[in-house]
Copies of this chain bind each other. A is one copy, B any other.
Amino acid sequence: MAAPPAFVPPTRVLHGPGPSEVAPSVLRALAAPTIGHLDPAFLGLLDAVRSMLRQVIGTENELTLPMSGTGSLGMETCIDNLVEPGDRVLVGIHGVFGQRLAEVARRAGGEVTVVEGEWGRALDVEQVRKVAAGARFKLLCVVHAETSTGALTPLPPFRALADELGALLLVDCVTSLGGVPVEMDAVGADAIYAGTQKCLSCPPGLAPVSFSPRARAALDARKHKVQSWYADLSLIAQYFGGERLYHHTAPINMLYGLHEALRLVLEEGLEARYARHRTQSAALAVGLEAMGLKLAVPAAERLPPLTLVEIPQGIDDGRVRKRLLDEHNIEIGGGLGKFKGRAWRIGLMGESCQPERVTGVLSALRSVLEAEGFRATKTR
Contact = CB atoms under 8 A, between A and B. Distances in A.
Interface of A: 1-4, 6-12, 14, 16, 18-19, 21-22, 25, 27-42, 45, 48, 51-52, 55, 68-73, 75-76, 100, 103-104, 107-108, 195, 197, 203-205, 225-230, 246-254, 256-257, 259-260, 262-264, 266-267, 269-270, 325, 331, 336
A249 B7 contact: no
Given A34-B21, A104-B229, A197-B249, A2 B69 contact: no
6 contacts: A3-B264, A6-B29, A6-B260, A27-B34, A70-B248, A75-B230
Contacts of A203: 34, 251-254
Given A14-B34, A19-B34, A48-B4, A205 B204 contact: no
B14 A35 contact: yes
A262 B42 CA distance: 26
Contacts of A9: 32-35, 41-42, 45, 256
B251 A254 contact: yes
Given A76-B230, A227-B227, A263 B107 contact: no
Given A3-B267, A10-B39, 13 more contacts: A1-B270, A3-B266, A6-B260, A16-B38, A22-B253, A34-B197, A69-B73, A76-B229, A76-B230, A108-B227, A197-B249, A227-B228, A246-B336
Nearest to A321: B38
Contact of A229 (B107, B230, B246, B263): B107
Nearest to A325: B39
Contact of A69 (B11, B29, B69): B69
